[in-house]
Copies of this chain bind each other. A is one copy, B any other.
Amino acid sequence: MHYFCIKFAQVQKKHYLCRVIRINMATSNGKTEISTLGEFGLIRHLTEGIKPVQPSTLKGVGDDAAVMDFGDKQVLMTTDLLLEGIHFNLEYVPLKHLGYKAAVVNFSDIYAMMATPTQITVSLGISKRFSVEDIEELYAGIRLACERYGVDLVGGDTSASMTGLTISITCLGTANKDEIVYRNGAKEHNLICVTGNLGTAYMGLQLLERERLVAQSLNPNGDTPAEALRFEGKEYLLERQLKPEARRDIIEKLREAGIKPTAMMDISDGLSSELMHICNQSNCGCSIYEDKLPIDYQAAVLAEEMNLNIVTCALNGGEDYELLFTCDINDYEKLVPIDDIYIIGHITKPDYGTVLVGRNGEEMMLQAQGWQAFNS
């Protein structure tokens, strides 16, 4: 494909020099494939050297949300883009659940900074395949999430699309000054905590994918009897994949208990990846213990059935939307009474690296897999 490049050189008051240059985009001559950088590398590369100029910008690129100071309250902003075929498969994701999840994952980013989500905007790109009723379903999920979390839907953009469904949601939140928790405050000897359980959303996805393939093989050309699908006893896995919740409850309990984590983020790309973000940004290392990782029994059973290593799923599965945080060891007594928080390790000196201690005491370095869709 060709395109014409019109140069950005101003030659007179209102006119720009238009020099038509042909660039052949099809040849990869001198071009770098995005997969060589990966998602995080690409973002780092693109945002290098950006320096805020607005006095209201407190924190730009590099955390769960940006932070602005507009007066009494600090204001947070986060955004998520979901693309059909990349982030969701409508063969098994109902539109209402998709809407709900698209909103909740943004709320999760705001809670992960110890703040409260307050407003969202929703942009949709919709191909001709979708009817008004389909989009109503999607919106019903978004609106339900807003109701449950007390967030206002304040605007957005709706457009036709050439192919598939695109959902872009941006969320604002607020926090009192000095309440916000960033990723860069972890200190040596801090406890490392996670909430809920890990790898379950990933196992839910494996289950859906397996049943989809079974259904397809039973009837390759059309309707599949619903009875052919075997979700009994595994509903929780589906729920974790299709309808995750943000951990508002944990944020409230931490606040009630008077605990301010030293660093925090939500687990969207997998525990390993998120731990490495905290360690990089806090300039520290960590040790976590395999036998302390909270694993759901349904997830463990399915992993066994499917011949997967549940610990690998817990470390790299992603989409759990649980919280990962570090806190001072003096908060231990206050932490223990809070349900659904698990201490999985502690922060170390930076040169110790990010270490997983196995059940047999063997130490392994963690690998961040993150979002590798650019490779696939």
Binding site for B on A (CB under 8 A): 1-6, 8, 14-18, 20-22, 24-25, 28, 30-34, 36-37, 39, 42-43, 45-47, 50, 52-54, 56-57, 59-61, 65-66, 68, 70-73, 75, 77-81, 83-87, 90-97, 100, 118-119, 121, 123-126, 128-136, 139, 143-144, 150-164, 166, 168, 170, 172, 174, 223-224, 226, 229, 231, 235-236, 238-239, 242-243, 371, 373-374, 376
Contact = CB atoms under 8 A, between A and B. Distances in A.
A3 B39 contact: no
A79 B159 contact: no
The 7 closest A-B pairs by CB, nearest first: A71-B71, A71-B72, A66-B154, A31-B131, A168-B168, A160-B373, A81-B123
Contacts of A154: 52, 57, 59-61, 66, 68, 77
A179 to B, nearest CB: 14
Contacts of A172: 68, 75, 77, 172
B160 A119 contact: no
Nearest to A245: B14
A143 B301 CA distance: 49
Given A53-B150, A172-B77, A83 B125 contact: yes
A4 B226 contact: yes
Contact of A53 (B6, B152, B158, B170): B152
A309 to B, nearest CB: 25
A243 to B, nearest CB: 7
A371 B46 CA distance: 32
Given A45-B132, A46-B139, A94 B5 contact: yes
Given A56-B118, A376-B160, A79 B33 contact: no
Nearest to A82: B159
Contact of A133 (B6, B30, B97, B243): B30
A373 B126 CA distance: 10
16 contacts: A1-B90, A3-B95, A25-B129, A33-B128, A46-B139, A50-B152, A56-B118, A56-B174, A65-B155, A66-B155, A77-B170, A83-B160, A126-B374, A128-B374, A163-B163, A166-B166
